[in-house]
DNA sequence: CCTCTCCATATTGTAGGACAAATAGCAGAG
DNA sequence: CTCTGCTATTTGTCCTACAATATGGAGAGG
C-alpha cells in the first residue's frame, strides 16, 4: 500500500481493439507511448492482470507485449517478479552514448559518401525542419531530433545500422534526460544539427563525423550530469 | 505432406524439463544451439505444434521462446506465416560486419586503455588459448574466436557494448560463413588475434584498434565472397 | 522493543482446449 | 494456360485452472 494506485492513463477507456492479428502490436504501441511520454514513470510495475483489464484482452497478448518491450529494452523483466519500466543508471546512459557515438559516426560517414541522388533528395527533404528558426519546446525538439538522426541513418543506406540504432533505447534516454532541455540547450543542438547536415550535403565524411561526434559528446556530457530524475 | 518430416535433432527425447520458471529459457537454449550448430538450416520453418510435441510443453512457452529468438535476430517471424530460421543475405552480412567493426574497434580501444589490474589479469587468462600452436578445426576456431572477442569486450568494461555485440547475430554470421574456414585462413586469423592481444596488453589503443579493424575487414571480405551456402 | 521465522496473499509460469482469422496450395472453371 | 474459389494448415487470441514463487505481515522468541 505504499503506492496510491498506479494511476493509469486511461483506467478503462473502451480502447477500440484493432483488427485480428494486431492486438499485441496495439498493446506494445500503447505501452511504449506511455513509457516514452513518461505517463508510466521508470520503476513502475506492470502487472499483467491490470493490463488485461485496461486493454480488455487476455493474458496471452499482454505477456507477449511485455516480452517485446523487454526485447526493446524498455522494460525489465525478472522471473516471478514481473515487469518494471526500465530505469537507466547514469552508467548505462554513459555506456549507451559511447556506443551511439560510434554507430552514428559510421552513419554520418556513410551518409556523406552516399551517391544515390534520389536518397539525397529525400534526406534534404526530411531534415527541412531543422532549418526552421522558430523556438521549439522540449517535445518538439525530441521529435525533430529523432527524425534528424533517423534521416542520416536512412541516407547512410545500412539498414542493419538503422534498425540497431532505433533499438538502442535512444528514445528512452532522451525521455529520461528530457528535463535538462532548456531553450538555450535546444538552440545549440539545432545549430549542431545544421552543421552536421551541411557536412553531409557537402559530401565531407570527416567533417560530418567530427560534427556528429561533437554533438553527441556534448549531449552525453549533459545527460550524465543529470544524476537524479 | 510435401516434407518427409522436418527431421528434428531429437524427435522426442525425454528432455528432462528444468525447474519451474526455466521452461522458456530451456527451449530458447535448445533452439539456439540447433540453429547455431546448423542442425536447423537457414530457412527451416519452426512450427509451434511441432515444438510443443518435441519439448512436451504447451504453446505458451513455445511462443515466448520464438519471440525471444526473434528478438535476438536468430529467426524471422511474419504474422500468420510463422517463424523461419533466419538466413542472412550477403548484403546483410556486409552491413553487420560494418557495424561490428565500429563496435569492436571501440571495444579494443577501451580495452587497451583499461586500468583495472584484476580485469587485465582475467583477460590474459581468457585469451590463453590463442597462443596454442596446435592446429584447430573450424568448430574449435569458432569457439576460440567467440571467446577472444568476448574477452576484449569484457576488458573494455562497457557492459552495454558487450551485450549488444553478443546479440548482433555474430554467431549466426560465423555459422553461416563457417565453410570458408580453411586451415590456412584459421592460421592467419589466429596470428591476427595475437597481434590484437599484444596491442591491448601493451596499452596501445591505436594499434589495438588498427589491428582489430584489419582483422575484421579481412574477415568481412571473406564472408561476403561466399555467395552460396 | 527488536528480530526472526512462518504463513497468507498476490502474481507469475505453465497447461490444455477452443475458436476465429489468415495464409498457402490445390482444384476446377474459363 | 491463367485466373478464381475452396480447403487445409497454422497462427492469433481467449478462457480456465493450477503450480510455483515472491512479498509483506503476523506472531513467537530473544
Q: What is the 3-state secondary structure (H, E, C) of A81-115?
A: CEEEECCCCHHHHHHHHHHHHHHHHHHHHHHHHCC
Confidence (pTM)? 0.85
Most distant pair of Cα atoms in chain B: their distance: 61
Distance between CA atoms of residues B227 and B229, nearest Å:
7
pLDDT tens digits, one per residue of A125-161: 999 999 999 988 888 888 899 999 999 999 999 999 9
Give the CA-to-C1' distance from A21 to C17 in angstroms. 20
Helices (H), A167-204: 170-176, 183-201
Q: Is A76 on the interface with B (CB under 8 A)?
A: no
pLDDT tens digits, one per residue of B44-88: 999 999 999 999 999 999 999 999 999 888 999 999 999 999 988
Give the CA-to-C1' distance from B79 to C28 in angstroms. 30
| R_g (Cα) of chain A, nearest Å | 19
pLDDT of residue B2 exceeding 80: no
pLDDT of residue A69 exceeding 80: yes
Q: What are the residues whose beta carbons fall under 8 Å from the beta carbon of A121, sequence distance 6 or more?
A: none
Q: Is A77 on the interface with B (CB under 8 A)?
A: no
pLDDT tens digits, one per residue of B129-163: 999 999 888 888 888 999 999 999 999 999 999 99
Mean pLDDT for all residues in chain A: 86
- Scanning every strand, the nucleotide with its C1' closest to A50's CA turns out to be C11
Helices (H), B56-182: 59-72, 90-113, 117-126, 138-156, 159-166, 170-176
Q: What percent of chain A has pLDDT over 70?
A: 89
Give the CA-to-C1' distance from A43 to C3 in angstroms. 30
Q: Is B81 on the interface with A (CB under 8 A)?
A: no
Distance from CA of A131 to the nearest CA of B (A): 30
Give me the numbers of helices (H) and strands (E) for chain A, helices first please. 10, 3
pLDDT of residue B25 exceeding 50: yes
Distance between CA atoms of residues A77 and A68, nearest Å:
11
Residue contact B98–A161, C-beta within 8 A: yes
| Residue in chain A lying closest to B96 (CA) | A160
Residue contact B105–A106, C-beta within 8 A: no
Helix (H, G, I), strand (E, B) or coil at A127: coil
pLDDT of residue A41 exceeding 80: yes
- CA distances to A26, B5, B136 from B35, rounded to whole Å, are 30, 17, 22
Residue contact A158–B103, C-beta within 8 A: no
Q: Is B98 on the interface with A (CB under 8 A)?
A: yes
Listed as ranges, the nucleotides of chain D within 7 A of a protein C-beta are 10-17, 19-23, 25
Strands (E) located in A22-158: 45-46, 75-78, 82-85
Distance from CA of B137 to the nearest CA of A (A): 31
Residue A226: pLDDT band (50, 70, 90) is low
Distance from CA of B97 to the nearest CA of A (A): 10
pLDDT of residue A9 exceeding 50: no
Give which of B123, B130, B136 is closest to B183, Cα–Cα: B136
pLDDT of residue A7 exceeding 50: no
Listed as ranges, the nucleotides of chain C within 7 A of a protein C-beta are 11-18, 20-24, 26
Amino acid at each position: 500500500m505504499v503506492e496510491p494506485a498506479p494511476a493509469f492513463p486511461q483506467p478503462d477507456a473502451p480502447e477500440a481493439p484493432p483488427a485480428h492479428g494486431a492486438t499485441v502490436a496495439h498493446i506494445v504501441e500503447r505501452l511504449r507511448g506511455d513509457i516514452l511520454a513518461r505517463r508510466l514513470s521508470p520503476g513502475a510495475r506492470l502487472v499483467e492482470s491490470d493490463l488485461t483489464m485496461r486493454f480488455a484482452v487476455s493474458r496471452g497478448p499482454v505477456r507477449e507485449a511485455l516480452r517485446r518491450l523487454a526485447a526493446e529494452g524498455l522494460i525489465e523483466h525478472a522471473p516471478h517478479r514481473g515487469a518494471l519500466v526500465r530505469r537507466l543508471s547514469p552508467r548505462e546512459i554513459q555506456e549507451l552514448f559511447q556506443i551511439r557515438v560510434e554507430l552514428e559516426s559510421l552513419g554520418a560517414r556513410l551518409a556523406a559518401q552516399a551517391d544515390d541522388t534520389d536518397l539525397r533528395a529525400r534526406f534534404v527533404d526530411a531534415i527541412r525542419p531543422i532549418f526552421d528558426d522558430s523556438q521549439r519546446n522540449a517535445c518538439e525538439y525530441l521529435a525533430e531530433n529523432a527524425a534528424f538522426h533517423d534521416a542520416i541513418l536512412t541516407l547512410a543506406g545500412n539498414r542493419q545500422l538503422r534498425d540497431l540504432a532505433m533499438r538502442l533505447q535512444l528514445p528512452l534516454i532522451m525521455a529520461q534526460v528530457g528535463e535538462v532541455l532548456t531553450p538555450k540547450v535546444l538552440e545549440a543542438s539545432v545549430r549542431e544539427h545544421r552543421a552536421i547536415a551541411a557536412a553531409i550535403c557537402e559530401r565531407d565524411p570527416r567533417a560530418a563525423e567530427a560534427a556528429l561526434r561533437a554533438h553527441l559528446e556534448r549531449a552525453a556530457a549533459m545527460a550524465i550530469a543529470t544524476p537524479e530524475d
